[in-house]
Amino acid sequence: MSDHDQELTPEEVVPAGGEPSPQQHFRSRFGGLSGTVAPIVTTIIAFLMGGLVVLFTGKNPWKVYKAVFKGTGLNWFFHVGNHHARIPFSTHKMWFPWDTASVAAGNLQQTLLLTTPIILTALALAFAFRCGLFNIGGQGQYTAGVIFAVWLGSSFVHMNPFLHVVLCLIAGTLAGAVWAGIAGILKATVGAHEVISTIMLNWIAYWVGSYLFGEGGPLQGSQASIPISNDIADGAKLPVFWGIALLQGLSIGIFIAIGMLVVYWIVINRTTLGFEVRAVGFNPEAARYGGISVARNYFLAMAISGAFAGLAGALDITGWEYRIGENDIQASQIGFIGLAAALLGRNTALGVGVASLLFGALINGTSGRQLDPSIFRPDLAGNLTTIIQGLVILFVGLNLGGLGVWLKKRRKPA
């Protein structure tokens, strides 16, 4: 979407016939989703409004945000000094400008661990967006990935470690793809609205997960009264390259996620598939006229999008969670955080990466584990995060150009 698209007058947006063409419909849906200034302004507005909320509770927003920032571990980058770091997967040490064992480093590991699945669920949203589809089911696809990764990870205990972890990741990815593919097939064949079907699939995954890992469920662990699965085998765990595995060190999952950002960029911008997906997204009618199968692309876009979200679930399990409980399935919001990150990142690879880091940091910084309770209650801060997230989604979809048009019309006497 170029800047030119933004300058359409309202008369062009909806033709005189009343029914906007699919292309114009698409633009009215996603027209506000380009540019870099608006996301930054959005973020600032959301944080300012969040600060107001903090102020209402009689706390100093500046202090709270400072404590949150400290909890994110992002301050680690500012403490440059003369340190030594162990080279990952070896016993050798080398000079390094940052202290890899400080408290801030530990916090940063947590932030990056959270960023990993957010990047992938955001990519899931972004890929479907590019095809003109709204995949609101990232949460359900994530859960599908989690279920299969836990199931296979805790099953074949004596398998070759490398094969085992790869199996878990692939199974999780496929599970997500199949889960989203259901919505894709329904959209492609009978035209069922993907928003409705993915919302329903989210809740089906929620209850199936609760059933599987709940008390008496088939995947519940060996302790009868605790609704948590067994741990996955050691061979199914991703190697941890920074920090200690027992204390949730950073696994190589973050590199897989970053790799997927690159894959996303290449697929969207440099392949026939990406071209067709974008063509369908811009204008399904024109794409059909040009010989592109719209139904096939709807299905593929949903399945690929679900694959990203499923991989997110598998990476969480193999990277640091190692087991899953009924409560974790029910409390997880990763899919919806991905939604916010995709919208804020304008569906571009770089934007998604940056936005995911922002949300990962925000969630980690306000978590009970990181935030100093003497400054701000972590359970309040968690809700503050949800408010900020809502505000970001609210303002980021805002076509700032549209606001301008509306204000101009207001000033003109009718």
Partner 1 sequence: MTAIAARVGGIRWTDPKTIGIGGIAVGALAFWLALPPLASRTAVLPILLGILAIAAGIWTWSREEHRVGGGAVAAGVLGIVFGVLATRSSEAHLDTVVVWSALLAATLRYATPLTFAAIGGLFCERSGVINVALEGMLLTGAFFGIWGAIWAHGWAPGWEWVIGLITASLAGMVMAAVHAFWAIHLKVDQIISGTAINFLALGITGYIFIDKYGDTGTPGNVADYGIPDVHIHFLSNWYFVGPIIGQLNLMIWLSFVLLIATYIFVFHTPYGLRLRSVGEHPRAADTVGISVYKVRYTAVIASGAIAAMGGAYLSLGFVHSFNENMTSGTGFIGLAALVFGKWRPFPTWCATLLFGFSSALSDRLPNAYGNQWGTLFNALPYVLTIVAVAGVIGRSIGPAAAGRPYEKQ
- Kindly list the residues in this chain that would bind partner 1 in the complex (CB under 8 A): 10-11, 13-14, 16-20, 25, 28-30, 32, 53, 57, 134, 136, 182, 186, 190, 192-193, 195-197, 199-201, 203-204, 206-208, 210-211, 214-217, 330, 336, 339-340, 343, 377, 379-380, 382-391, 393-394, 397-399, 402-403, 406
Cα-based distances in Å from 38 to 261, 361, 392, 394: 22, 21, 11, 12
- Min CB(260)–partner 1 separation in Å: 23
Tell me the C-alpha distance between 385 and 367, whole Å: 9
The smaller minimum CB distance to partner 1, of residues 75 and 333, is found at 333
Please give the sequence-ordered ranges of beta strands (E in DSSP) within 87-185, or none if there are none.
Answer: 93-98
Residue with tokens 């398998």: 159
The smaller minimum CB distance to partner 1, of residues 242 and 395, is found at 395
- Min CB(271)–partner 1 separation in Å: 27
Q: What are phi and psi for residue 290, nearest 5 degrees?
A: -80, 5
* Residues 6+ positions from 177 with CB-CB distance below 8 Å: 141, 303, 304, 306, 307, 310
Strand partners, 83: 96
Strand partners, 77: none
Burial of 84 (C-beta count, 10 Å sphere; 0-12/13-18/19+): exposed
The smaller minimum CB distance to partner 1, of residues 203 and 255, is found at 203
- Min CB(125)–partner 1 separation in Å: 11
H or E segment at 63?
A: helix 61-72
- Min CB(390)–partner 1 separation in Å: 3
Three-state DSSP class for 273? Answer: helix
The smaller minimum CB distance to partner 1, of residues 9 and 90, is found at 9
- Min CB(79)–partner 1 separation in Å: 32
The smaller minimum CB distance to partner 1, of residues 32 and 235, is found at 32
- Min CB(31)–partner 1 separation in Å: 8
The smaller minimum CB distance to partner 1, of residues 191 and 290, is found at 191
The smaller minimum CB distance to partner 1, of residues 25 and 83, is found at 25
**Other C-beta atoms lying within 10 Å of the C-beta of residue 263:** 14
94 touches 87 (CB < 8 A): yes
Label each residue of 290-321 as H, E or C.
CCCCHHHHHHHHHHHHHHHHHHHHHHHHHHHH
- Min CB(40)–partner 1 separation in Å: 18
Strand partners, 96: 83
Which amino acid is present at 39?
P
The smaller minimum CB distance to partner 1, of residues 239 and 397, is found at 397
- Min CB(254)–partner 1 separation in Å: 26
The smaller minimum CB distance to partner 1, of residues 42 and 109, is found at 42
Residue with tokens 């990741």: 169
- Min CB(413)–partner 1 separation in Å: 16
Please give the sequence-ordered ranges of beta strands (E in DSSP) within 60-218, or none if there are none.
Answer: 80-86, 93-98
